[in-house]
Amino acid sequence: MEKKKIIGIIGPGSGAADEDFEAAFEIGKLAAENNFYVLTGGRAAGVMEAAMKGAKSAGGITIGILPSEDGSDQSEYVDIPIKTGMGSARNNINVLTADIVVGIGMGPGTASEIALAIKAQKKVLLINQRDDVIEFFRSFNRDKLFILSNTEELADHLDDH
């Protein structure tokens, strides 16, 4: 039996743009339809919430790596909550647990997770990113960093995982 893969979907909790919410929902849904578990930071906010909502709309299973000890910030769409009490230090857990990482939009936490994913030699897909952000991350790794023009391109990157 083939091992089910985990896709980490990261992005701003607060300050996410409308197109980030839409992309996160669609990518969460597509990932679930392609038999991936969907992992996020687990909070009831921004890209995390939208990605898990998309996954659940397709019958997927979600994992939330929560910053708190008590889960008070947990999204209703988390199936498997992991309460770390680690705050932003949980970002490394998010990245190391995922087989592939998708960055939607940008904020300080998202930037740290993308950098950690590049350092861990993970395949990283970026969507809804400014050109300067793309060039910054490309300066670290061009081999495993891919830019998506739209959510439908995600499927092209899931086959080899």
What is the mean predicted confidence (pLDDT) over 139-161?
85
- State the pLDDT at residue 4: 86
Give CA–CA dist 20/16, Å, rounded: 6
HSE-CB at 147 with a 13 A cutoff on CA atoms is 14
The CA–CA distances, whole Å, from 95 to 22, 50, 84, 88, 115 equal: 22, 19, 14, 12, 10
pLDDT grade, residue 146 (50/70/90)? very high
User: Which listed CATH number (3.40.50.1580, 3.40.50.450, 1.10.10.60, 3.40.50.2300) goes with 5-155?
Assistant: 3.40.50.450
Domain boundaries, the chain: 5-155
pLDDT tens digits along 4-49? 899 999 999 988 999 999 999 999 999 999 999 999 999 999 999 9
What is the mean predicted confidence (pLDDT) over 99-106?
96
